[in-house]
């Protein structure tokens, strides 16, 4: 990842010698555009770079010379963040929770969306509006009752409780997105499958689901980002349970007051940011494609 | 925050095949529908819909959560809220956010998206700016970062003595900022916070608008150019009206985010900021519920938040429709 962050600004410098444009006006406008966009890119990258750099410094060094490169590269910041601050176990918890929640919500969401999109039956509209309601209301409204529902069934402050809540709240978005996707798949294919003797179950798992792969990938990416970054749900219903990453990070930043181990804090932030950033850079084409797919249909 | 498409509805369109098949109700089909609809919906009803419904009821009780008794007290929680200065201050801050945040974010991301898409040569084919995908990728970075990490990071950047911002300002000679507390000063706390939220969302909406602008047929831009429209005129009279649905979506998502804003506020100024200048309803709700244990009152705050969210979405739809937006946007 080090190379990724560091390579970025160097590339932007590379753009500045522009090729010859067709007219002087174009050249001026092109230069202005590039300048404006480059400034914004700098505003985005600088804080990230600074965090990354500070994560290798000692606390004193961060205070005394915030801009200098670290004199000694303190890799032990990462070790402290990972072990004594517990970021390692929080990371693992996040992977477990988000992994299971993603798997379950994708399966259930695809099933639900498929039935809603491909069959007409009484009540389908009601279900649709019920799902819409879940998208519109602020999650905050649900937190207090949810706290007691989970406590009553013994899932408060547990990872399974977190997983099932994540599944519930990610479901409406998943269904809406996949709903329009299943709508566009041709009906002839299901008919062909049924003529060939496939039942409903088989048609779904062996014919329709593989065909929906591009749609599934897009939703999975968005759900991953949403759940990985989720903060409110874990701090409300998992406050005393095994912490997930976002929760642990907040606790780490808040717990120590003025005696914060800044180097380790920056290391913890870097550990949180970097994996997702790497995944994004690898999949950015698909992701940007799915932003348009989600909004433009 | 997440784009979605609500234009297609169940029971609409292409149902001929479905209707033909509807007659034979086999075990295969019934079991399939029951499992496929039933399992997701049961989870959804228990963990999403029922809490929402219960919240409305709790908001009219004096329940503290840990006592078995729960008295129905009607609307007096709401009366208490509207008389509570701190809460009203939080409501005011949320209203400020809901006005400022979407406008700033959308204008900035529209400008950047326009520069990327129609910034190319004014002759020949309509083209985007050369090598611009780099900017798109970079601007999107913040969207992938957990909001809490963004908050902590910017909390350090704004740090009076060792932060990046004051370091940069003093290094260019602005010594009055030597140890200026950006988040600790009532005049700047809100602006600084708004900037952080704008920072984290501009890239996402830029990508969204770029996709929208690319969906506009190139002939329209060519026609405008032949008619003598310049770049700015094209952007204002062609681009913006044609992607107004995207803009509306963006406006609603940003507005809903502004009405929540919990993570950013909690990370940057967990106590509500100097003189509660960055306190928002969600913080107050969280505090009332999980620190003070006044679950009835907290639920009332949640209902106020929900009503404001619905009201806001309604106003945006209405304004867009009254000003001649696409008629079937809400369909």
Tell me the per-residue pLDDT of B93-104, one tens digit each, with 9 for 90 and over.
Answer: 999 999 999 999
Do B48 and A143 form a contact (C-beta atoms < 8 A)? Answer: no
CB contact under 8 A, B136 and A262: no
**CATH 3.50.50.60 given to domain A81-296:** no
Q: Which residue of A has its CA nearest to B281?
A: A140
Using a CB-CB distance cutoff of 8 angstroms, which residues of chain B are in contact with residue A192? none
Give yes or no for A172 touching B (CB within 8 A): yes
Per-residue model confidence as pLDDT tens digits over B294-331: 888 989 999 999 999 989 988 988 888 888 665 443 33
- Residue spans of chain B under pLDDT 70: 1-24, 65-66, 68, 119-128, 324-331
What pLDDT was estimated at residue B88?
A: 93
Q: How far is A11 from chain B (nearest CA, A)?
A: 9
What pLDDT was estimated at residue A256?
A: 58
What pLDDT was estimated at residue A262?
A: 81
CB contact under 8 A, A48 and B47: no
CATH topology of domain B61-330: MetI-like fold (1.10.3720)
What pLDDT was estimated at residue A171?
A: 92
Q: How far is B37 from chain A (nearest CA, A)?
A: 5
Give yes or no for A137 touching B (CB within 8 A): yes
**Half-sphere exposure of B61 toward its Cβ, with a 13 Å CA cutoff?**
16
CB contact under 8 A, B49 and A130: yes
* Complex ipTM: 0.80
Question: What is the pTM (predicted TM-score) of this model?
Answer: 0.83
What pLDDT was estimated at residue A260?
A: 65
CB contact under 8 A, A23 and B122: yes
What pLDDT was estimated at residue A101?
A: 95
Q: How far is B278 from chain A (nearest CA, A)?
A: 18
What pLDDT was estimated at residue A2?
A: 40
CB contact under 8 A, A112 and B37: yes
What pLDDT was estimated at residue B121?
A: 62
Residues 69-98 of A with CB under 8 A from B: none
Q: How far is A39 from chain B (nearest CA, A)?
A: 10
The predicted model gives A67-87 an average pLDDT of 81
Give yes or no for A31 touching B (CB within 8 A): no
CB contact under 8 A, A176 and B4: yes
**Residues A281, A5: Cα–Cα separation, whole Å:** 11
CB contact under 8 A, B5 and A266: no
CB contact under 8 A, A22 and B295: no
A105 pLDDT above the threshold of 90: yes
Using a CB-CB distance cutoff of 8 angstroms, which residues of chain B are in contact with residue A51? 153, 156
Give yes or no for A47 touching B (CB within 8 A): yes
Per-residue model confidence as pLDDT tens digits over A46-60: 999 988 988 888 877
Burial annotation A70-104 (CB, 10 A radius, 16+ → b, else e): beeebeebbebbbeebbbbebbebbebbbebbbeb
CB contact under 8 A, B208 and A169: no
Q: How far is B187 from chain A (nearest CA, A)?
A: 23
A15 pLDDT above the threshold of 60: no
What pLDDT was estimated at residue A163?
A: 94
CB contact under 8 A, A226 and B1: yes
Do A3 and A11 form a contact (C-beta atoms < 8 A)? Answer: no
User: Which 8-state DSSP code applies to residue A20?
Assistant: P
Q: How far is B210 from chain A (nearest CA, A)?
A: 9
Give residue limits of the domains in chain B: 61-330
Per-residue model confidence as pLDDT tens digits over A120-172: 888 888 888 888 888 878 888 888 889 889 988 989 899 999 999 999 999 99
A275 pLDDT above the threshold of 90: no
CB contact under 8 A, A253 and B309: no
Reduce the secondary structure of chain B to three states and give it as a string: CCCCCCCCCCCCCCCHHHHHHCCCCCHHHHHHHHHHHHHHHHHHHHHHHHHHHHHHHHCCECCCCCCCCCCECCCHHHHHHHHCHHHHHHHHHHHHHHHHHHHHHHHHHHHHHHHHHHCCCCCCCCCCCCCCHHHHHHHHHHHHCCHHHHHHHHHHHCCCCCCHHHHHHHHCCCHHHCCCCCCCCCCCHHHHHHHHHHHHHHHHHHHHHHHHHHCCCHHHHHHHHHCCCCHHHHHHHHHHHHCHHHHHHHHHHHHHHHHHCHHHHHHHCCCCCHHHCCCCHHHHHHHHHHHCCCHHHHHHHHHHHHHHHHHHHHHHHHHHHHCCCCHHHHC
CB contact under 8 A, B171 and A168: no
Residue to mutate among A133, A291, A293, with most B CBs inside 10 A, is A291
The predicted model gives A81-105 an average pLDDT of 90
């Amino acid at each position: 990842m080090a190379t990724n962050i560091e390579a970025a600004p160097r590339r932007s410098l590379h753009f500045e010698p522009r090729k010859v444009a067709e007219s002087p006006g174009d050249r001026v406008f092109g230069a202005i555009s590039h300048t404006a966009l480059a400034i914004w890119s700098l505003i985005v990258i600088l804080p990230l770079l600074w965090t990354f750099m500070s994560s290798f410094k000692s606390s004193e060094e961060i205070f005394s010379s915030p801009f200098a490169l670290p004199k000694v590269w303190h890799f032990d910041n990462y070790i402290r963040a990972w072990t004594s601050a517990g970021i390692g176990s929080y990371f693992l918890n996040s992977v477990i929770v988000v992994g299971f929640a993603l798997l379950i919500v994708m399966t259930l969401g695809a099933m639900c969306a498929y039935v809603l999109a491909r069959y007409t039956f009484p009540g389908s509209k009601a279900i649709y509006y019920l799902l819409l309601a879940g998208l519109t209301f602020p999650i905050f409204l649900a937190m207090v009752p949810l706290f007691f529902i989970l406590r009553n069934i013994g899932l408060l402050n547990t990872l399974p409780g977190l997983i099932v809540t994540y599944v519930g709240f990610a479901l409406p978005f998943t269904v809406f997105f996949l709903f329009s996707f299943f709508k566009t798949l041709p009906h002839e294919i299901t008919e062909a499958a049924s003529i060939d003797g496939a039942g409903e179950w088989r048609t779904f798992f062996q014919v329709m689901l593989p065909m929906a792969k591009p749609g599934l990938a897009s939703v999975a990416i968005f759900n991953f980002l949403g759940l990985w970054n989720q903060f409110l749900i874990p701090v409300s219903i998992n406050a005393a349970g095994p912490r997930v990453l976002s929760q642990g990070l907040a606790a780490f930043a808040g717990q120590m007051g003025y005696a914060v181990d800044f180097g380790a804090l920056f290391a913890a932030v870097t550990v949180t940011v970097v994996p997702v950033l790497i995944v994004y850079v690898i999949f950015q084409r698909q992701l940007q494609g799915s932003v348009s797919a989600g909004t433009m249909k | 925050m997440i784009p979605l498409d609500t234009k297609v509805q169940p029971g609409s369109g292409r149902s001929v095949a479905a209707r033909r098949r509807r007659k034979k109700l086999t075990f295969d089909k019934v079991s399939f529908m029951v499992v496929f609809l039933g399992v997701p919906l049961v989870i959804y009803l228990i963990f999403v819909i029922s809490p929402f419904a219960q919240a409305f009821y709790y908001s009219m009780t004096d329940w503290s959560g840990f006592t078995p008794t729960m008295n129905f007290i009607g609307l007096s929680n709401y009366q208490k809220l509207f008389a509570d200065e701190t809460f009203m201050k939080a409501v005011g801050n949320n209203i400020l956010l809901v006005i400022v945040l979407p406008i700033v974010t959308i204008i900035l991301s529209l400008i950047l998206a326009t520069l990327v898409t129609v910034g190319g040569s004014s002759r020949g084919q309509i083209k985007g700016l050369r090598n611009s995908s780099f900017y798109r990728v970079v601007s999107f970075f913040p969207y992938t970062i957990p909001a809490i990490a963004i908050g902590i990071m910017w909390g350090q950047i704004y740090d009076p003595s060792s932060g990046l911002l004051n370091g940069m300002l003093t290094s260019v000679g602005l010594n009055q900022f030597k140890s200026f507390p950006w988040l600790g000063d009532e005049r700047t706390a809100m602006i600084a916070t708004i900037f952080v939220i704008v920072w984290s969302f501009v890239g996402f909406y830029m990508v969204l608008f770029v996709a929208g602008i690319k969906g506009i047929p190139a002939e329209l831009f060519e026609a405008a150019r032949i008619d003598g429209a310049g770049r700015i005129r094209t952007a204002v009279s062609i681009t913006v009206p044609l992607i107004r649905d995207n803009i509306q979506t963006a406006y609603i998502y940003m507005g809903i985010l502004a009405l929540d804003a919990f993570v950013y506020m909690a990370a940057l100024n967990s106590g509500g900021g100097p003189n509660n200048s960055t306190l928002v309803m969600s913080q107050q709700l969280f505090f009332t519920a999980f620190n003070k244990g006044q679950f009835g009152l907290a639920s009332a705050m949640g209902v106020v938040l929900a009503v404001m969210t619905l009201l806001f979405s309604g106003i945006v739809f209405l304004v867009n429709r009254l000003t001649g937006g696409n008629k079937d946007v809400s369909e």
